[in-house]
Structure 1
Amino acid sequence: MTNLEANPSAPAEPDGGLASLRGDCARMVPHWAAPAHSEARPVSPSRIHGVSVPARSARLLDAMSDYGD
């Protein structure tokens, strides 16, 4: 999993598939900043905002039994 370049071509699967999901994640990486050291603390749902997920990625995750059931 070293090649994280986004593929701009149209996906072969209608919902994008795993390769498309990986590309979406690769494009979101620059927006995620991780501190050098962080403690695991609960976060209030009211503080979580501004997250957008492409519809095809949301449908792909919804179709996975680990996430959607």
Structure 2
Amino acid sequence: MTTYPAPREHQESEFGLAELCGDGARMAPHWVTPAEPATAPVSPALIHGVRVPPASARLIAATAEYGV
């Protein structure tokens, strides 16, 4: 009896950069940028750090392969 391996499920981490860029290009026309007045530069003395929500940090950590 011959057995065949079950097909692997497509996971998010297996998507390629080209597919990600293509998805972004197709979605770009749907994004609307509101007209906001230009903001004045902020003094570096007023910048104390950046806070990233845990969900966003996990998302960025999962995309590390795209930065290589």
Could you say whether these structures have the same fold, taking a TM-score greater than 0.5 normalized by the shorter chain as the test?
no
Higher RCO (CA 8 Å, separation ≥ 6 residues) = 2
TM-score (norm 2): 0.31
Which structure's CA Rg is the greater one? Answer: 2
